[in-house]
Every structure is written in structure tokens, then in C-alpha cells.
Amino acid sequence: MGGADRAGVRLAGVTKRFGGVTAVDAVSLSFDAGGFFGLLGPSGSGKTTLLRLIAGFEFPDAGALEIGGVPVARLPVEKRQIGMVFQNYALFPNMSVAENIGFGLRVAGLGAAARAKKVAEALALVRLDGFGPRRPHQLSGGQRQRVALARAIVTDPKVLLLDEPLSALDKSLREEMQVELRRIQREIGITTVFVTHDQEEALTLSDRIGILRDGRLVEEGPPETLYARPGTRFAAEFLGAANIFTGAPGAGALTLDDGTVLRHSGGAVPMVAVRPEHIVLDPPAHAGWNRVEARLTGRVFSGATAALRLAHAGQEIRVSVPGAARLAHAPGDMLVLGFLPEHTVPLSA
């Protein structure tokens, strides 16, 4: 490690078709050197194909692909100097942990002594000192994950690619590995691209997130921005929970079918999104608030928060309130909900 030359990744109009299916459709993206980039999408959204295109397991049918400013679209994976962690880790069962980690160095022709030194460094980095002689089948899931990571970074790759790296771990281990992954990535400063269908994981780990749907890049940006100001309904709903209101567009205001006007900071858009945690009950009586009247239909307590379900003109509205709050209302009561225009996010589609 160390001395890894940081390389960004740039995709321009990258398209991949399998038979008649367009798995990746004209995706353009830039990953900054040293950044942690999450590709998020439901299954079948093309995120894994996109990762395999960056890796070089697949070649694009159209578009340009650069790693560190060098065009690589036609370069096979073994020549791309990437490191990859597979969903099932893909550790070589016939080799010890040290042989697994040293494999990339060995095929590159590095001598045994230099190899042993780098392997020991990599083991220390993933906190598995002394595990070198063990066999993969003697390790726990979390340890295998660390070995796979060490194997992927020991060759000083230009880019680290992670395919659903934490999906095989249970919840508590997953959270621990998220922290570890971030620490290791910061320590060696490697450009990292990872694929996940878990929005929480994407929010926790990424510097930037790209949301994919049906092979297209829907939106891209830092997690905070994407969460607070999604531009599309798909992004708003996929990244956390959102209440969507549709109505007649006007400049900075949306008129719902029942005449309620919701003010927001955008132009004339057909819909807006409001996060459940931004909605309050019985808002202060000054004019700054958007107000919606809705009938309470249910309340689900889940510890720190409680989820209220309400109905407004045939639409369900979800509101998140502190779990400890006492609710003075019973199902069937009409409530006034309020949210600020700054939390009323205009959506283009």
C-alpha cells in the first residue's frame, strides 16, 4: 500500500446491452480520486453491470471509460489494475489466507520476501495479524470479508470495487464492517466504488451516491444533498421515506386537487416530496407553514420514533414523531399537519 497513485474514474455515455436488454443506458459519471462512491439501485437497475464494466469483466457497447485519465474501455480486467471484493468474497479455497492475499503479487512476479512483507502489512491493516497460515474455511464471515479486502488492496490498485460487500453479514457485523471499511479506505486513500441495494448503507458509507434505475443514472450527489433535496420521485422514495403530493404546478407553489396550496422553493413542478420527520402536528399559527388536513388512521410505535398514518384526499401520509410523545388524538380524528416550504422539495418527475 502507500504510494498508490490516486486515480479518478470517468464514464461518458457508457452503454451495455445483453441481447435485447439494455442493462446500462448512456451513463455518465465522474468519481473523484480518493472518494468513496456508492452505486445504489434496486435489483435489475444495472448497478452490478456498471461495476463489472468499470472492472473490465464486460466491455461497453458504446461510450468512454477512463481510469486515472487513461481510456480503458477495451482493456481486459487483468490489465486494469483494479482491486475487487466479491459478494461471496471468492477466496481461493486451496490457499491459506497469506497465499490468498499474496496471489496478485505472486502472479505479478514479486519475490517471496517482498511478498511476505506486503502481506503482513495488509493483514495488519485489516487487523488480522497472525491469520496468515489459516485456511479460508476456518474464518468467520467478517474475517473472510477482511481477507478479501486485504487481497484486493495489497497490489496497490488504482480503484477498489466492492460488489454488495456487506450483504452476506448479519446486522451488527455489517455496522462494524461499515466503520472498518471507511477507516481502511481513508487510511490508504483509494478511490472506491461500491454497489449496494441498501440505501442506509449507501448513506452511511458514501461521499457521493449515484442512484440507478432501469440502467439509467437517475441522480447523483453527496448523500446529504440527495436526501434533503432529491430531484425526482424515484430518488425521494428510494432514499428514505417520502410523502409525495401531486397537483397543478405553479411558480413556487403546488395546488392540490382539494385546493390546498403547498409553497416550495422551486419552479413550476408537478409534485413535491416531504419527509415524514419534517411534518409536525398542529403547526404554529403563522403564515410560514404549509398546512394539510388529514384523518388519523393508525399509529405504529417503534422505540425512538412512532409512525403515524393519516389519510388526505385518498392519499396516505406518513408522519414520524418522537416515540415518547403522548398522542391526544384517536384514529378517525381530523388533524392539521404542517411543514415548512424549505422542507417541501420540488420534484421534476
Partner 1 sequence: MSVLNALGRGWLLLTLLFLYLPIGVMAAMSFNASPFYRLPIEPSGQWYTALARNDALLAAAWNSVWIALVTTLLATALGTAAALGLFRFAFRGKRIFQVLLFPPIAIPWLITGTAMLVFFFFIGIERGSPAVILGHVALAIPYVVIVVSARLAGFDPTLEEAARSLGASAWQITRHITLPFIAPAVIAGALFAFAVSFDQFVISYFLAEPGEVTLPVEIYSAIRKGFTPEINAISTIVIGVSMALMLIVARLARFGDLR
Residue 80 and residue 7 in contact, taking contact as beta carbons nearer than 8 Å: no
For residue 143, the minimal CB distance to partner 1 (Å) is 16
In the bound state with partner 1, the residue whose beta carbon lies nearer, of 137 and 326, is 137
Query: Does residue 88 bind partner 1 (CB under 8 A)?
Result: yes
Rounded Cα–Cα distance for residues 177 and 171 (Å): 10
In the bound state with partner 1, the residue whose beta carbon lies nearer, of 138 and 255, is 138
Q: Stretches 98-106, 210-218, 273-281, 341-349: which one binds partner 1 (CB under 8 A)?
A: 98-106
Residues numbered 281-320 forming contacts with partner 1, rule: CB under 8 A: none
User: What is the residue whose three cell numbers read 502472479?
Assistant: 107
Helices (H), 38-170: 47-55, 97-107, 112-125, 141-153
In the bound state with partner 1, the residue whose beta carbon lies nearer, of 161 and 269, is 161
Residues numbered 119-158 forming contacts with partner 1, rule: CB under 8 A: 135, 137, 151-152, 155
Query: Does residue 50 bind partner 1 (CB under 8 A)?
Result: no
DSSP letter at 68? Answer: T
Output the DSSP codes for 39-61: EE--TTSSHHHHHHHHHTSS--S
Interface residue with partner 1 among 15, 57, 216, 318 (CB under 8 A) is 57
In the bound state with partner 1, the residue whose beta carbon lies nearer, of 78 and 224, is 78
Interface residue with partner 1 among 22, 61, 63, 86 (CB under 8 A) is 86
CA distances to 82, 119, 162, 209 from 102, in Å: 15, 6, 19, 32
Rounded Cα–Cα distance for residues 148 and 68 (Å): 24
For residue 278, the minimal CB distance to partner 1 (Å) is 43
Rounded Cα–Cα distance for residues 22 and 16 (Å): 6
**Dihedral sign (CA 42, 45, 48, 54):** negative
Residues numbered 102-121 forming contacts with partner 1, rule: CB under 8 A: 103-104, 106-108
For residue 137, the minimal CB distance to partner 1 (Å) is 5
Query: Does residue 81 bind partner 1 (CB under 8 A)?
Result: yes
Residue 123, classed as helix, strand or coil, is helix
The number of residues in the chain equals 349
Q: Summarize as ranges the residues that interact with partner 1 (CB under 8 A).
A: 55, 57, 76-79, 81-84, 86, 88, 90-94, 103-104, 106-108, 135, 137, 151-152, 155, 161
